[in-house]
Amino acid sequence: MLGIGLYGSNGHQIHHQLQDSAEAEIVAHAMLDETAREAVRTLAPGAIEHASLASLLDDPRVELVSLCSPIRAQQAEEAIACLRSGRHVYAEKPCALDERDLDRILAASRASGRVFREMSGTIYAQPYWRIREIVRSGVLGDIVQVYAQKSYPNHAGRPGDEAIDGGLLLQVGIHAVRYITQCTGLAALDVRAEETQTGLTGRGDLRSAVVVTMSLAGGALATATVNYASQRGFGHWGHEELRIWGNLGFVEATDSGTRTRLVIGENDLGPLTDLAPAPQELSVLLDRILRETPEPVAEDEECQATRTVLRAKAGARLVTCR
């Protein structure tokens, strides 16, 4: 059994995913909020609670650290510390707030011989896994243009300090960019972003919307629309859309993936079928660590999406009221 240490609750901590695992168990935790702490006490009563990450890393039973750092701006240094201590790392997105720190994390992973993985369940869900298969089959022909949207409701708990969660572009926009790059298999070559705070007052750094435009390998163009303007009445917490146009056809998923369509030339093939369960991301990670099984989304491909949003943020233009 692989020993898991949980650190922080700022994000999607993995304790519930380990409830019935035959390959990994929670052996330690630190800095969890009270809800997560109570859940871990039930799921893993033998897990030791530590006062800090440093103390957790002194626990010899911990082999992998699941990082949901309380302050996202500190997560890169914490990931590096875990890797240098000989632990594998599974880190909430964004794993870093600038590209230099992303490269430092990857260098620490290579130097230590330990696996680093950013939490990236975006592509490991239907219908997006099926869209990835369709695009890569070549049936759409050459990809010409891609549009992706990721939207959530705004609420009072969203931090006004981007250092806490990475901000709209990095912690929400990463989903839209993953739809684009991981469904098409095309790397982003040039990226630009515009942000706005329209509709928000007194919320610090919080952005209300972002538009990201990019060129892709092969000459395709892509746009990602990201905002905190979805409404609870929509019926889904996240509001996602994805459309991929090729020169021979197009595929789309709308209404948070509940409606899909594939059109090839003159043939409207209707909703996507054969939506078999996609790989489960945590299982993929455990397979890599325990059995050295290659991941279906390789590290370079996953980090390319992260690198894209970091570059977009570094050059983002804030649009102000005139």
Are 112 and 183 part of one and the same domain? no
Residue 291 lies in a domain: no
Taking 90 as the threshold, does the pLDDT of residue 203 lie above it? no
Hunting for tokens 């972003």 — which residue is that? 193
Residue 248 lies in a domain: yes
Q: ω before 94 within 30° of 0 (cis)?
A: yes
> What angle is formed at CA 313 by the lines to CA 229 and CA 72, rounded to 5 degrees?
80
Taking 70 as the threshold, does the pLDDT of residue 212 lie above it? yes
Taking 80 as the threshold, does the pLDDT of residue 74 lie above it? yes
Taking 80 as the threshold, does the pLDDT of residue 135 lie above it? yes
The domain that contains 29 carries what CATH number? 3.40.50.720
Among 101, 119, 137, residue at a domain's last position = 119
Say what the pLDDT of residue 322 is.
62
Mean pLDDT of 149-156: 95
For the chain, what is the mean pLDDT? 96
Kindly give, in sequence order, each residue whose CB lies less than 8 Å from that of residue 287, ignoring residues fewer than 6 positions away.
Answer: 293, 295
The domain that contains 189 carries what CATH number? 3.30.360.10
Mean pLDDT of 225-239: 95
Tell me phi and psi for residue 147, to 5 degrees: -125, 130
Are 216 and 171 part of one and the same domain? yes
pTM comes to 0.95
Residue 140 lies in a domain: yes
Mean pLDDT of 74-97: 98
Question: What share of the chain in percent tops pLDDT 90?
Answer: 93
Are 249 and 140 part of one and the same domain? yes
Tell me phi and psi for residue 10, to 5 degrees: -85, 75
Say what the pLDDT of residue 120 is.
87
Are 187 and 310 part of one and the same domain? yes
| 97 and 166 Cβ atoms separated by less than 8 Å | yes
Residue 287 lies in a domain: no
Residue 296 lies in a domain: no
Token pair of 54 as six digits = 């440093």
Show the domain range for 50: 2-119
Among 90, 119, 148, residue at a domain's last position = 119
Taking 90 as the threshold, does the pLDDT of residue 105 lie above it? yes
Specify the number of domains making up the chain. 2
Are 20 and 77 part of one and the same domain? yes
Are 110 and 246 part of one and the same domain? no
Residue 295 lies in a domain: no
Say what the pLDDT of residue 284 is.
95
Say what the pLDDT of residue 320 is.
85
**Residue 131 parent element (H or E):** helix 128-137
Torsion of CA 294, 74, 36, 16, to 10 degrees: -10
Hunting for tokens 């750094």 — which residue is that? 205
Residue 289 lies in a domain: no
Are 204 and 310 part of one and the same domain? yes
Say what the pLDDT of residue 244 is.
98
Are 165 and 244 part of one and the same domain? yes
Are 112 and 86 part of one and the same domain? yes
Question: What share of the chain in percent tops pLDDT 70?
Answer: 99
Among 119, 139, 161, residue at a domain's last position = 119
Taking 70 as the threshold, does the pLDDT of residue 43 lie above it? yes
Are 87 and 149 part of one and the same domain? no
Q: Are strands 48-50 and 24-30 parallel, antiparallel or unpaired?
A: parallel
Are 244 and 198 part of one and the same domain? yes
Are 108 and 149 part of one and the same domain? no
At position 44, the amino acid (one-letter code) is A
Residue 301 lies in a domain: no
DSSP code of residue 225: E
